[in-house]
């Protein structure tokens, strides 16, 4: 597959509007306690890659819409993602000190405030969708899709099984795939479906976005496991090697490094194939898929 030197250029066309809108949504009125606003801003405005909001804008564009129309939905997805990272870093879960190159939310603001900042980010996402997506029918559909992707049968359920996997010695490749399709993949897929929904995509387009998202979501996780295994903490902005330390089920652990790299490459090729449905309008989605394979953070 050809290299993707252009992803930085491609994404720079979308990122400033995402950052500006996230900033705008962090201007709370006087009813928000100062420490809560600070904890939310610490987590949401930290330098993440913004892959999920990028997917939302790029999906809307692939379906023929102005990507700007998808900004509220894109920010809502990033809010849910930020909440999941804050909660995942807590001592009761992954117990991490570093995230996005900064001290984790609970390290700076304490555990109770970190839990509450996560709760507030999750609820803010649905406020944004309900208020800022139009027409109302699209807003309702976006709320439903995001709730399903983030909830018990999606990200939260995947996280529960991921924690459970630490004590299940006979779980293998199919259990691992099942975990990651929900824990990580569901949110990546829903990011695309929200973009398609605000662009009023037809069934065929939504199905192609779903195929792209499912393949990309799993590829993203295989690469995430590889990055944790091969470990460059400075580039990643978080601790590495933790999965192996805890005896977690991972792709390099199960398949080895080379077969995992091949699996990620095959999945990205599948995603790119699905994006062909959109012809030239999916150039950005193709570039993002190549970036996922080559990313170092
Ligand atoms: C706590 C309900 C709950 C769920 C947590 C998303 C998640 C589920 C846990 C995060 C732990 C983790 C490192 C998962 C691997 C894949 C992943 C989601 C990585 C972080 O996403 P990136 O790389 O991060 O897109 P940035 O910081 O760039 O946004």
CA of 1 to the centre of ligand 1 (A): 27
Query: Is 48 near ligand 1, meaning CB less than 6 Å away?
Result: yes
> Which structure tokens are listed for 90?
């807590």
Query: Is 215 near ligand 1, meaning CB less than 6 Å away?
Result: no
Residue ranges of the chain whose pLDDT lies below 70: 1-5, 29-30, 232-247
CA of 47 to the centre of ligand 1 (A): 14
pLDDT digits (tens, 9 = 90+) for 120-158: 999 999 999 999 999 999 999 999 999 999 999 999 999
Q: Residue 9: which residues within 8 A CB-CB, separation 6 or more?
A: none
Tokens 């117990």 sit on residue? 95
* Residue 88 alpha carbon, nearest atom of ligand 1: 1
Query: Is 270 near ligand 1, meaning CB less than 6 Å away?
Result: no
CA of 35 to the centre of ligand 1 (A): 24
Q: How far apart are CA 123 and CA 25, in angstroms?
A: 13
DSSP strand E in the chain: where?
A: 98-99, 102-103
Query: Is 51 near ligand 1, meaning CB less than 6 Å away?
Result: yes
Q: Residue 261: which residues within 8 A CB-CB, separation 6 or more?
A: 226
Q: Is 282 exposed, middle or buried (0-12, 13-18, 19+ CB in 10 A)?
A: buried
CA of 74 to the centre of ligand 1 (A): 16
User: Ligand 1, from 45, 82, 84, 252: best to mutate by most atoms within 8 Å of Cβ?
Assistant: 84
């Amino acid at each position: 597959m050809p290299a993707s030197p252009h992803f930085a250029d491609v994404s720079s066309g979308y990122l400033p509007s995402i950052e500006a809108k996230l900033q705008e949504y962090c201007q709370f009125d006087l009813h928000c306690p100062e420490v809560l606003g600070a904890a939310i801003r610490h987590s949401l405005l930290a330098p993440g890659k913004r892959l999920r909001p990028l997917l939302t804008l790029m999906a809307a564009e692939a379906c023929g819409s102005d990507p700007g129309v998808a900004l509220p939905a894109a920010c809502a997805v990033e809010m849910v993602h930020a909440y999941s990272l804050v909660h995942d870093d807590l001592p009761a879960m992954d117990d991490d000190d570093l995230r996005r190159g900064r001290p984790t939310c609970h390290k700076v603001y304490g555990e109770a405030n970190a839990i509450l900042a996560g709760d507030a980010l999750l609820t803010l996402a649905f406020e944004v969708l309900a208020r800022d997506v139009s027409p109302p029918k699209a807003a309702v559909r976006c709320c439903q899709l995001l709730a399903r992707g983030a909830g018990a049968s999606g990200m939260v359920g995947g996280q529960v099984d991921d924690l459970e996997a630490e004590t299940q010695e006979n779980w293998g490749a199919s259990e691992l795939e099942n975990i990651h399709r929900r824990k990580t993949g569901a949110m990546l897929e829903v990011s695309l479906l929200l973009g398609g929904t605000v662009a009023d995509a037809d069934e065929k387009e939504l199905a192609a976005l779903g195929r792209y998202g499912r393949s990309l979501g799993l590829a993203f996780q295989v690469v995430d496991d590889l990055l944790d295994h091969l470990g460059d903490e400075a580039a990643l902005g978080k601790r590495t090697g933790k999965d192996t330390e805890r005896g977690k089920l991972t792709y390099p652990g199960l398949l080895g490094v080379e077969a995992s790299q091949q699996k990620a490459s095959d999945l990205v090729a599948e995603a790119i194939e699905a994006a062909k449905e959109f012809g030239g309008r999916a150039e950005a989605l193709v570039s993002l898929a190549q970036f996922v394979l080559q990313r170092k953070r």
